[in-house]
């Protein structure tokens, strides 16, 4: 817990302790063996620096929030660059992924990974579809594009 609170986060650039209390924590090694910060400590200087830290705390939090937002935007751009969209339209033929609960255990590892062919009956929202089999019977639940593959005859 101590190391988590005293290590600067890459997303904010600050330690959680700094964002909470407004000043950097003194690690136990500094307390026991002494350091420049500990050796030059006076009560008056501590009060003055505490007021300065508290005055700057809001600005520090705002800057860390800006860094966090920039980090999130970079992560989103990276993720969206890797995502491949499944563009399926009404009437397209698709194969449906065989799930563990629908897989025939007698087939073992050599069983089919895809089943169907199904036709897209309705688009609920982007990436979610209602299917019907080739006889026109509606499939009971909606399917995500992640579990569908376009079928070419």
* pTM, rounded to two decimals: 0.47
| Spatial distance between the Cα atoms of 34 and 48, rounded to a whole number of angstroms | 22
| Spatial distance between the Cα atoms of 88 and 150, rounded to a whole number of angstroms | 8
Strand partners, 94: 118, 150
Q: 3-state DSSP: the chain helix, strand, coil percent, rounded to 5?
A: 45, 20, 35
Q: Report domain extents, the chain.
A: 2-82, 93-150
Would you state the pLDDT for residue 4?
A: 77
pLDDT tens for the chain, 153 residues: list them.
Answer: 777 778 888 888 888 888 888 777 777 776 677 777 677 777 888 788 888 888 888 888 899 999 999 999 999 999 988 877 768 889 999 999 988 877 878 888 888 899 888 999 999 988 899 999 999 999 888 989 888 999 887
Structural domain 93-150, CATH architecture: Roll (2.30)
């Amino acid at each position: 817990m101590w190391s988590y609170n005293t290590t600067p986060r890459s997303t904010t650039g600050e330690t959680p302790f700094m964002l909470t209390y407004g000043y950097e924590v003194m690690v136990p090694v500094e307390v026991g063996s002494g350091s420049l910060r500990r050796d030059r400590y006076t009560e008056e200087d501590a009060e003055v620096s505490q007021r300065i830290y508290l005055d700057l705390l809001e600005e520090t939090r705002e800057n860390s929030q800006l860094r966090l937002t920039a980090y999130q935007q970079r992560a989103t751009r990276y993720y969206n660059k890797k995502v491949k969209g499944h563009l399926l339209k009404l009437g397209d033929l698709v194969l449906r992924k065989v799930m563990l609960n629908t897989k025939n255990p007698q087939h073992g590892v050599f069983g089919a990974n895809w089943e169907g062919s199904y036709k897209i009956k309705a688009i609920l929202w982007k990436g979610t579809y209602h299917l019907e089999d080739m006889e026109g019977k509606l499939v009971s639940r909606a399917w995500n594009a992640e579990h569908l593959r376009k079928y070419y005859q």
